[in-house]
Chains A and B, each alone.
Chain A
């Protein structure tokens, strides 16, 4: 038997913990964002000691930057398609794995594995799989599916598709676990009542499972979107943004602007744009999905 000690209101220990958390948040999130916002109004170059205030010229330049437009378009396409795909697959996997036997518990662990791996490792592994004459090509050729190797990462369209598939693979473990947790919170009685009423499998999914998954879906979709909007590591290793910038995410472009082109000021402005776009999308999607939760 355990005794739970309820924290008293005004407990100084709680205040200290909150202060530490708040301090870390301010130090590592708020301060860098403010610094970045300030730098975005300058022409800071890492090699020069002096940076001049340039007003909003970095922001007006963005309007004419075709590379930025391309990277933003790719990032939004990737975020949208991967979020839909990874959550659809995640719901499917969650339903398949929603059993309690040991073998299913082991399979859940396997399904979660990609989420544990760092993006760099995921990128390296898939680079070997998708390389010309790589594992995938060899398997497909030996099975007679294709007669000559396909350059999965060498053609702009296929490279976009490949990055999307790898990102989906990497994120599906997370969406599976979130939806599995949501599935396990659905009362069994609802299904029993529906079966008594003669509801089939599809009706049970449509009328019970899918609506009851809503809270999990809100979390899963929002986090998937944010993850994809700032995706850097997998792309940096898998394609380095190529070929011909076809897979250059906005995050990758920011790194290039800052550390290759020596344009900290402009890179900061693009980073601020990405931040605003991410916040706007995350808030809109969350509001939309929460409305669905309220409708239950």
Chain B
């Protein structure tokens, strides 16, 4: 009995210490310790993060950064878990700002600093404020194609209009080539053709469509959306994807396309990091064709890290985030491995010391040229981002529409899901 009380006290102290240390953010005369949520991919390795953090730490005296690695690439989900358990990090890499900003969890950046350093300062602004420096961008999706397979089907140039695109698909199929690779086993990957068609047809004609959907002025069941989705159904019905595409995982779809099993592949520009270096010139890219051949770039401006509104040392957190975001050395892995298009002002690709392919340069030119850029449907990080949970409904509809011709039913489900998510 004598030992009971000290044991309880020790246990309580241990629990308290555990709870406190998990979300430790301290500041004092000796400096600040900040927590930083990151994620790892084959190109963004642990070494990349350690090196980039060390580089920014050197530029901000008195700051120590403790890295937290999300268990998967879904850093939004992990950030939510950390928030729910009272461990929201001070800095959060590449999260979706709208999800957290609406809850008042993020601190906006100084707009003057953003304006001074980035090509599209408001590229990912949410309700007029920038929560993540717009350091890089993606085109989601591009239509990548295999030049040798096009030549085999006697196709001399990539299509510009939708009818040309359909003709290309028909020629490829007639030549015994699978026209379009689809990694339908992973929901996000299954949605890529629809993302491309909706971005080109719906947002291309009305760039404010998503904002108007929030306002209830338009619906998924509207005729223009139905017509766009009908194009995807036509592709599926005519057998322009392989029969078992819903059983093909995303990673396998990359392997299938790069090994020449299909002629085209609709995917985000991050695929550029997977283009085989030894025969990169076999691949080209164009944008989802529109009815009249006008060019519509489905664009998404990503970025580096968001700053928690709860951080105990906002000055140091901001200084670290700014130092990291402006260091060209941190862009090399993003450009070469993830096919990210850098958005720093006054820099050329040479300034990043990167070795990129011709298809990367061609794709990057869509970013730097003056043209019609619209938010990529479902991938926007600005005011055009979809409400929480809608992406899952959209992915599910994409998979369902692969084998079901109930376009009206699927679009009505999307409207219903949207209304539930926003009420």
Q: Which residues in chain B, 229-251, are within 8 Å of chain A measured between CB atoms?
A: 243-249
Which residues on the B side are within 8 Å of A132 (C-beta)? 185, 244, 247-248, 252
Give the distance to chain A from B321, nearest Cβ to Cβ, in Å: 21
What is the bound-complex CA distance between A153 and B399, given in angstroms?
12
Interface residue A209 (Cβ < 8 Å from any Cβ of B): no
Give the distance to chain A from B225, nearest Cβ to Cβ, in Å: 18
Give the distance to chain A from B291, nearest Cβ to Cβ, in Å: 28
Q: What residue in chain A is nearest B409 (Cβ atoms)?
A: A66
Main DSSP-derived SS at the B contact region = helix
Q: Are B396 and A153 in contact (CB under 8 A)?
A: no
Q: Are A48 and B103 in contact (CB under 8 A)?
A: yes
Interface residue total, chain B, C-beta cutoff 8 A: 38
Given A131-B247, A132-B248, A240-B187, check contact A155 B403 (CB 8 Å).
Answer: yes
Q: Are B392 and A261 in contact (CB under 8 A)?
A: yes
What is the bound-complex CA distance between A65 and B102, given in angstroms?
25
Partner of B413, one of A66, A240, A260, A262: A66
Q: Which residues in chain B, 386-410, are within 8 Å of chain A measured between CB atoms?
A: 388-389, 392-393, 396-397, 399-400, 402-404
Interface residue A154 (Cβ < 8 Å from any Cβ of B): yes
> A247-265 CB contact bits vs B (8 Å, 1 = yes)?
0000000001101111100
Which residues on the A side are within 8 Å of B388 (C-beta)? 260-262
Q: What residue in chain B is nearest A149 (Cβ atoms)?
A: B244
Q: Which residues in chain A, 48-106, are within 8 Å of chain B measured between CB atoms?
A: 48, 61, 64-67
Q: Are B396 and A154 in contact (CB under 8 A)?
A: no
Q: What residue in chain B is nearest A156 (Cβ atoms)?
A: B403
What is the bound-complex CA distance between A278 and B42, given in angstroms?
43
Which residues on the B side are within 8 Å of A64 (C-beta)? 416
Interface residue B133 (Cβ < 8 Å from any Cβ of A): no
Which residues on the A side are within 8 Å of B393 (C-beta)? 67
Which residues on the A side are within 8 Å of B248 (C-beta)? 132, 154
Q: Are A261 and B421 in contact (CB under 8 A)?
A: yes
A residues lining the B interface (CB < 8 Å): 45-48, 61, 64-67, 131-132, 149-156, 240, 242-245, 256-257, 259-263
B residues lining the A interface (CB < 8 Å): 77, 80-81, 83-84, 99-100, 102-103, 105, 184-185, 187, 190, 243-249, 252, 388-389, 392-393, 396-397, 399-400, 402-404, 413, 416-417, 420-421
